[in-house]
Structure 1
Amino acid sequence: MPDTLTLQQAVDMALKHSSELQVARNTIDKNKKLRDEAWDANNAVLINTYLGNGLYVSVPTGKDPQGAVFKTDYDWRAAQKDYDTKVESVKASVYQAYFNVLQDQAQVNYLEQSLASKERNLRDAEARWQAGMDTAFNVNQLRAAVVSERAKLAQAQDTLARDYANLAQLVGLPRGSTPALSNDATYQPLEVTDLNSTIEQIVSASPDLWKAQQQVQLIKDTFAMQNSADVDRYNLKNANLAVTITGDKLQQAVLKLYYTVKDLEAGYEAAQKSVATAEEALRLAKLRYDVGIGTQADVLAAEASLAQARQQLLSLTIQHELAVKAFWQPWAWSASGGSSAAVAAGSSGMGTGN
């Protein structure tokens, strides 16, 4: 096991380890075998059919009263599409799992700093109370705050352990493995020159749309072979409607993701400024403490505020990167078990550090 597991290493390991990918590969081979057997059984061969304008298309022909040649050919090509989708969905799952751990670590770090600050405030208040300079009410409030923060920290540590276990399972590491991760989250604004054209390209590349379109062609190729002509006319109408519905849903999903990305980008500069402000506040708190006009409690509070600001910036960076990936390949993120909304909102490790 590597000392530090990079995101790319995690992706490569998951692709090798995935049983679902092996099933998808086996399905391709099985469907290819069924296709070959159907072609042999029906004496099918490929012939060039002239489409006009100097274009030809190779189509199977032969004795095929039930359309088995066309059906098995579609199943084989569909299995190849499913495999490609599964590859991308495995990658998406790793991105989510890897970034969840990074988020969890930042959250634990912030809560550790926050707890240290609250514990110091409590100790100082108890000392003042014993000297008659503070109230029991204030001390009790600070004690409750410490108890609450300890509970939050314990919960965050549990979440970190759970998400580490999920990542280890995805990449094939032994149970209990907690390799160091590199912070591979990057912020790159989404640049789209022509939104409508870009959405069209994304939708056109969708395996779901391809399947819907191929179902139309399959019905045409096997028209009235297994059903009456009247029934297949209805089947063809519904298949064409399915193409339209699938395309419309994809367009809506991609457009929603686009605006999710832009909303996240709108908050990025403010999050950066919050980090810079917290860094300056910590510098001044340390300076005042060094010259004797500040307290250690002030320094601890400033450290906790900086940890929170950095956690929130990391959260936004990760959410943005995942949303951009989902924008370009929404079908992969849906197949990974997530959804556009989940990507946008963030999953388990994407809290705000409150």
Structure 2
Amino acid sequence: MDNQVMWQKSLWLLGHLSGLLLMAIPGAIAQPRTTAADLIPLNPNPDPLYLPSRPEQVTIDVDRPITLTEAIELARRNNRQLQIIEAQLQQSRAVLRQAESALYPTLSFQTNISRTDSAAIRLQNAQAQQAFIKGGGLGIPPVPLNTTSNTWTNTVQLGYNIFTAGQRSGSIQAAREQVRNAELDLQRQFEQLRQDVANDYYNIQQAEALVRIGQAAVQNSQISLRDAVARERAGLGTLFDVLTAEVQLANNQQQLVQAQSQLKTAQRQLAKTLSLNDKATVQAADPIQVVGEWKLSLEESITLAFRNRVELEQQLAQRNTALQQRRVALGNLGPQLVAGGSFNTTDDLSDSLAPRWGYTVGGQMNWTLFDGGVSRASAAQQESSAAIAEAQYAAFKNLIRFQVEQAYYTLKSSQENIRTNEVAVRQATEGLRLARLRFQAGIGTQAEVSNAETSLIQAQSNLLSSTIDYNRAIAALQRFVSGLPLNPQTASTP
């Protein structure tokens, strides 16, 4: 209970210190929140095959501050990897519909119209005429047969596989398991995407804060250099103090340039994850503060992760798919019974008779008695696939526990670091104030001021890092437990 109260007080104090830090650092004023309309220019070109070809088409001219919630929504809508998996899900559903078509009979219709001028009949007529002439023309002259015919034939054919030795049901069940696996993969990708977006967003927050800290450090160094120069001109200081201040200023300027470069890189990384417009970039609108408490114990987090993680269900789906494919393979050795029938009509268009019709009905059984071991070998492959899925299930279970434990321990250590670094920031701030007073009074040195500035920068950076690490640990726990809302304070054991 005491630890809980201390943590709540630390959260309040951290927020208070963050506010003071924001007011003390130029450029740290919170950005105005965006609206839904403000996010429209961030959307990518609707044509996925669009490829910029001119420099002005990739020149950044849209810069928007967004919250973490808005970033996740943009990723859900625009992330290319998520779109690929959604397309794969639709593909799996189409495969299922194809497999289910075996439940129904096949019905086909064929029509054929033709005109035939028979060379054989022409030869027969010529031979008859020749024989009549050779016989002296006696008797009845032969009547020439019609050499041409115009026919119209229509056929309707119906077929159905009555018994497939389990192949039909096995194929359908395997396709359903594939659909289930694709649905689970979509959930997995979205959970992973949430964590990736959160980490990229926290990277921007950290880089922006480091830039602000760097700017404040440069200003502090400029003040120290000004004081050192004034004291040296007044004969109260030394050239060494001026050189020390100049070196400190140069170091802080270099660190500021590096922080600005890291910020640009972090912004482009988030833009890639969100699949933003080629001419857009984003800033972090959320202030740097702890996102809340993780109310679940380690044991509750582990058991909830076992229930929620789709990776375990995916392995079960893959195992079931392999078992159904085994049924399909062994079905090749079973009897296959097919029934069917056809109805046809034929009409000679050159005569006055009505069309004539006919039909055919029948059945056929095929039974492969020996196929050289192909089917049983294929079944053995699927049995191995099922065993692999079972082993991967056990491996994922161990990995899930390790991931939760690692994130949980990081969360707890970050909590302690936040408390420690809060005190360090207060002490370093007071130390810098006293060092400047001592230097201005002539009883301190510029080296003391420089050391105090360095200590304050380090303490601020440590507090920033511990806060970001805490938030990253929350995001990791949300990912590794899965199925939880964005706000961890609402997470509880069902």
Q: Which interval holds the TM-score relative to the shorter structure?
A: 0.7 to 0.9
Supply the distance in 1 between the matched residues of 2:385 and 2:273 (Cα, whole angstroms): 41
Q: Alignment partner for residue 18 of structure 1, among 67, 75, 79?
A: 79
Q: Is the 8 A contact 2:305 2:481 kept in 1?
A: no
Letter matched to residue 218 of structure 2: L
User: 2:314 is matched with which residue?
Assistant: 211
Q: TM-score, normalised by structure 1?
A: 0.73
Aligned ranges 1:1-354 → 2 under 5 Å: 1=38, 4-41=65-102, 43=104, 63=164, 64-65=166-167, 67-129=170-232, 134-171=237-274, 172=276, 175=279, 177-179=281-283, 181-183=285-287, 185-193=289-297, 195-223=298-326, 225-226=328-329, 228=376, 229-278=379-428, 309-330=459-480
**CA shift at 1:235, angstroms?**
3.7
Q: Which has the higher strand share?
A: 2
- Identify if the C-alpha distance between structure 1 residues 36 and 269 changes in structure 2 by more than 3 Å, giving closer, same or farther: same
**CA shift at 1:202, angstroms?**
0.2
- Identify if the C-alpha distance between structure 1 residues 163 and 134 changes in structure 2 by more than 3 Å, giving closer, same or farther: same
Q: Is the 8 A contact 2:228 2:242 kept in 1?
A: yes
Letter matched to residue 330 of structure 1: F
Q: Which has the higher helix share?
A: 1
Q: Which stretch of the first structure deviates more once superposed, 230-239 or 28-37?
A: 230-239
**CA shift at 1:39, angstroms?**
1.3
Q: What are the ranges of 5 or more consecutive residues in structure 2 without an aligned counterpart?
A: 1-37, 40-63, 106-161, 330-374, 483-494
- Identify if the C-alpha distance between structure 1 residues 87 and 185 changes in structure 2 by more than 3 Å, giving closer, same or farther: farther
- Identify if the C-alpha distance between structure 1 residues 329 and 178 changes in structure 2 by more than 3 Å, giving closer, same or farther: closer
Q: Which stretch of the first structure deviates more once superposed, 70-79 or 179-188?
A: 179-188
Supply the distance in 2 between the matched residues of 1:294 and 1:7 (Cα, whole angstroms): 49
Q: What are the ranges of 5 or more consecutive residues in structure 1 without an aligned counterpart?
A: 45-60, 333-354
**CA shift at 1:199, angstroms?**
0.7
Letter matched to residue 8 of structure 1: T
Supply the distance in 2 between the matched residues of 1:162 and 1:87 (Cα, whole angstroms): 24
Supply the distance in 2 between the matched residues of 1:315 and 1:186 (Cα, whole angstroms): 11
Supply the distance in 1 between the matched residues of 2:381 and 2:184 (Cα, whole angstroms): 28
Root mean square deviation, CA, Å: 3.7
Q: Deviations over 1:203-237 (max 9, x none)?
A: 33222211112222223333353352544444443
SS of alignment partner, residue 260 of structure 1? helix
Q: Is the 8 A contact 1:113 1:304 kept in 2?
A: no
Give 1 or 2 for the bigger CA radius of gyration: 2
Q: Deviations over 1:65-119 (max 9, x none)?
A: 2842232212211111111122222222221222222111111111112122223
Identity between Structure 1 and Structure 2 (%): 22
**CA shift at 1:329, angstroms?**
2.0
